Amino acid sequence: MKLVACNGNRPLAEAIAAYLNIELTDASVRRFSDMEVFVEIHQNVRGEDCFVIQPTSYPANDNLMELLVTLDALRRSSARRITAVIPYFGYARQDRKTSPRTPITAKLVANVIAVAGANRVVTLDLHSGQIQGFFDIPLDNLFCAPVFSKDIMERYPGERPMIISPDVGGVVRARGLASRIEADLAIIDKRRERAGVSAVMNIIGDVKGRSCILVDDIVDSAGTLCNAAVALKEAGATAVSAYVSHGVLSGGAVARVTSSPLDSLVITDSIQATEAMRLAKNVRQLTIAPLIAQAIERISDERSVSSLFD
C-alpha cells in the first residue's frame, strides 16, 4: 500500500499514515512560475495499491487540479490500483439543474476524476446520495455518525439531547444520528430566498426545555445554522450546539458563529482548519483520520467497508 498526499490537507494525510503505521510516499506537488501544477513521484509504485489523499476544498480548483495531475502521474507510473481519497468532495452542491442553462458540475468532476486515472473513490458524507451514481467507478461514502455519536455521548452523559435537522433535505442524516444515540428528532422548515441566504420559518417538534443538536453535512456561510440556533432558542431550547461534517466556513462565517447563540460548532478535519477556526471560542474540531484509515485498510485487504458503520 502507498499513501500519496497532495497539499489540500497535509496534517490529515499525516495522521492517517500514522494510524496505519506507514510513511507517506515521497512525492513533490508543486507549481511552476505561472502556477501550473507539477507532480513527481519519487518512489517506485509499479504494481502498488495507491491511495491519494486530497480534499477539493478552498482553493477548490487548485486542489482539484492537484488531485487530477497526481492521479495521472500514478497511472503513468503503472500503479496497480489508484484510489482517490477525497474527505471533502467539492462541487457537491451542484448536483442538479437548479434553473435553465445551468451545469451539473458534480457529475463533470466525477467524470474527470475517473478519466484522470482513479479506479475507485473514498469520500465522506456526500452532500446528496445521488452523487454516488455520478461515478462509473466504485465509490465508498463514509459517514461521520460514529465519530459524532461517540463525542455526543461523552459530552452529554446521562442526558438525551434532541437532534435537529436544519432543513427537510437533511432529515435522513439527522435521523441516522438520532437512532444511534436513541434521541428524539425535530425538523426546521427553511425557505431559501436565494443562494447563500436562508430564512427559518418554523420548527416541527417541541424543543422547549431541551438541549438541541443541529446536524448537517456542510457549513459554509453559517447563515442557516445561526438562524436555526436563534429559532430554537426562541422556541425554548435550553442549549444549542451543532455537529457538521465539513467546515467550509467561508468569508465571515467564523465571526458569525462566534456571535451566534450556538454554544459550540463541532466540525471534522476533512478540511484543514484556518487560524480563525482555531481561535474561535465555540468552534471545535474532531479528527476523522482513524475512520478514513480503517476504510483504506479494509479496501486494501478487500474487506467490507460498510461493516464500519454497523
What grid cell was written down for 249?
466556513
Alpha carbons within 13 angstroms on the beta-carbon side of residue 134 total: 24
If one counts every other C-beta atom within 10 angstroms of the C-beta of residue 113, the result is 23
What grid cell was written down for 225?
445554522
What grid cell was written down for 3?
499513501
Whether residue 235 contacts residue 228, with contact meaning beta carbons closer than 8 Å, is answered with: no
Q: Which of 2, 190, 233, 281 is catalytic?
A: 190
Helix, strand and coil percent figures for the chain, each rounded to 5: 35, 25, 40
Residue 232 CA to residue 17 CA, distance in Å, equals 41
Residue 152 CA to residue 262 CA, distance in Å, equals 15
Say how many residues make up the chain.
310
Whether residue 266 contacts residue 284, with contact meaning beta carbons closer than 8 Å, is answered with: yes
158 forms beta bridges with none
Axis crossing angle, helix 60-76 with helix 105-116, rounded to the nearest 10? 30
If one counts every other C-beta atom within 10 angstroms of the C-beta of residue 111, the result is 13
Which residues make Cβ contacts (< 8 Å) with residue 296, sequence separation at least 6?
Answer: 1, 3, 16, 20, 51, 83, 85, 122
Q: Is 97 a catalytic residue?
A: no
Strand ranges in 126-210 using DSSP code E only, listed in sequence order: 139-142, 162-165, 185-194, 197-204
- Which positions are annotated as active-site residues? 190
